[in-house]
Structure 1
């Protein structure tokens, strides 16, 4: 039986501790830089990063569920994620509806997108 994954929580191995300010840290995909963290949610069961992709995606902002984080390097001010740049680019954009609010509906859209990457074990 496979372990159930909650994509809205950090992995135990990511090195994240509550209260660690990641705003401004660089985000590194498995194939290169993605952008900088603009916002971090520490809400239990709804943890995520909002990443400003800068010129790479023409200023688009994206949401990355906390589970995508595989490692945090405080000294380097970098957060490493387990997705490729294309995976992130193909995902929903934040603010495409004109709002920058992260609602439960928006998290659901991101959940549906990221679910297959983790074997459909989202909850």
Structure 2
């Protein structure tokens, strides 16, 4: 089943022993279009620190009540490697994060989550290495040390994580011109892969909201803040209007 990504924004993150904060953004990778992390604002609990939570740490999502239940405790989150979210998240940091939680590297393998199709299966394949409770905090030097070595030495490629909050609003560039902007994302709730994008074409005569499958996306043009798609403006105009209904739940 699929859900709009905006539905998880603002949800309360609940660890096994209490609340952590609220979801303020999601990071997806440009290559697979899979949501890799929830960006969580912790508020006063961690002095406003933002933390990244992998879907592998999610036990279940209550879409109707806006609640994300984790399979880890608060101390595990508190002591996790800190990320400077003002800067792009590096693959070295991701490696440190995976090692801290005992998760495999999702980018190593041919499936969406390494050798798994879903984050739940991906996490279970970490076996006894996965750690869900407690843990000593990592110092900045330890985090850097876990990410040492060249990319070729560690099998690391450049991270391609993108902020859904940033990309929402990017213009849509068809093969023959601009047509609307991206308004939301539809995500498969099992694999956490973005299935479609919701395009708002209301700036065009007769414009309307339409859904375009991810396979039609060519690339993201970061310099021009555009999503380039393999479709003409007329093809997009011919897509049936998306009418909000209960099938995917109400958008926020």
Q: Same fold (TM over 0.5)?
A: yes
Unaligned runs of 5+ in 1: 1-15
* Greater radius of gyration (CA): 2
Larger proportion of strand? 2
Structure 1 window deviating more from structure 2 (65-74 vs 45-54): it is: 45-54
- CA distance in structure 2 between the partners assigned to 1:31 and 1:68 by the alignment: 14
Q: Identify the residue that residue 33 of structure 1 maps to in structure 2.
A: 19
Q: Identify the residue that residue 20 of structure 1 maps to in structure 2.
A: 5
Asked which structure has the greater RCO (Cα within 8 Å, sep 6+), the reply is 1
Which structure 1 residue ranges, 4+ long, deviate > 6 Å from structure 2? Answer: none
- CA distance in structure 2 between the partners assigned to 1:53 and 1:17 by the alignment: 27
TM-score, normalised to structure 2's length? 0.37
Unaligned runs of 5+ in 2: 104-122, 131-252
Report if aligned partners of 2:26, 2:35 keep a CA contact under 8 Å in 1.
Answer: no
Change (3 A) 1:19 1:81: same
Secondary structure, aligned partner of 1:110 = helix
Change (3 A) 1:87 1:31: same
Secondary structure, aligned partner of 2:95 = helix
Report if aligned partners of 1:63, 1:110 keep a CA contact under 8 Å in 2.
Answer: no
TM-score, normalised to structure 1's length? 0.72
Report if aligned partners of 1:18, 1:42 keep a CA contact under 8 Å in 2.
Answer: no
Change (3 A) 1:100 1:26: farther
- CA distance in structure 2 between the partners assigned to 1:72 and 1:57 by the alignment: 23
Secondary structure, aligned partner of 1:42 = strand
Alpha carbon RMSD of aligned pairs, Å?
A: 2.4
